[in-house]
Amino acid sequence: MEYPIFALTNKVAIVTGASKGIGVGVAKSLAHAGATVICAARDSKALNSVVADIQEEGGTAHAKHLDVTNVAQIKGLFTEISQEFGAIDILVNNAGLGFNHAAVDVTEQDWDDMMNVNQKGLFFCCQAAGEVMLKQGSGRIINMSSQASVVGIKDHAVYCTSKGGVNQLTRVLALEWSNQGVTVNAVAPTFTYTPGTAERLDNPEYLEKVLERIPAGKVATMTDVAAAVVYLASPAGAMVTGSVLMVDGGWTAQ
């Protein structure tokens, strides 16, 4: 019997939106598993701090500036990375926007801003990585979705729509690419405690309302989400493709 392997030694991984929140946890966890991690985002100062932390812990990481709303920049950067590092083995599409508005208050700009990042930017990152991975005959793409992709959440019409689209795109790309060695999956977290969500989740009243919907009785940690990503990126996840892995403490089981 063969036993599952979770190590990512000698793998090259790109993490978008790696300058804050879940992206930081994912980048650090991939590096801890042995990958060379390309941390990509717009905030170069924050990226440099993340890379320094990874290197201090003995991992390998590099910072690259990326605005996922700029398709030409995506294509240029992914070509640069594949040439510089010899491969792109893993892509984690983590960059995303999240804000809430009552549906009647949503403006065209609100819609465009979120879709440009959560759907358009994500798709063209998939495409750019896919071109490299298909030539290699191997690769792992993990798209960051949300529990809001499968259940409705009041005042989140645009966000829920964008993440529902992520799930469908994940399935289609899996159908097109899996027989060529490239798996495509999504990870869908519930409310996750990060420096960015701490202000809300540290509010007892707000937290109580959230926990009423989570059977596990707690919010997710960055480690919880990163663990799912590492699994799907690893050899252990080779037979998983076209799936949306819920990391929601049971929220969507209701």
The residues annotated with a catalytic role in the active site are 159
For residue 69, count CB atoms less than 10 angstroms from its CB and return exposed for 0-12, middle for 13-18, buried for 19 or more: middle
DSSP assigned state of 101: B
CA dist 121 to 85, 94, 163, 220, 247, Å?
A: 23, 10, 13, 26, 23
Torsion angle of alpha carbons 201, 205, 147, 17, nearest 10°?
A: -20
User: Which residue has 């060529």 as its token pair?
Assistant: 180
Sign of CA dihedral 139, 125, 198, 103: negative
Cβ neighbour number for residue 236 with a 10 Å cutoff: 15
The per-residue b/e assignment along 168-198, b for 16 or more CB within 10 angstroms, e otherwise, is ebbbebbeebeeeebbbbbbbbbbbbbeebe
Residue 106 corresponds to which tokens in the numbers above?
């949503």
* CA separation for the pair 77, 74 (Å, rounded): 5
Contact in structure between 84 and 72 (CB atoms under 8 Å): no
